[in-house]
Amino acid sequence: MRLGLSQRTVETYVRRLFTKLDVNSRFKIVAWYMNQENTDP
């Protein structure tokens, strides 16, 4: 399934998420998510 998002759009979303969560890697975003209460992947 394709969402129709450009690579640039995804890069922008990821960069904004880095800023919002004060992290600098995708791994740290996953670590942040896994440390949240009531997470169910």
Domain coordinates of the chain in residue numbers?
Answer: 7-38
Total length of the chain? 41
Angle at 39 between CA 3 and CA 17, to 5 degrees: 50
* pLDDT for res 2: 79
Q: With a threshold of 0.85, does the pTM exceed it?
A: no
Give yes or no for a contact between 15 and 23, defined as CB atoms under 8 angstroms apart: no
Name the residue with tokens 């998420």.
Answer: 17
Whether residue 37 is predicted with pLDDT greater than 80 in this model: the reply is: no
**Cα–Cα distance measured from residue 14 to residue 25, given in angstroms and rounded to the nearest whole number:** 9
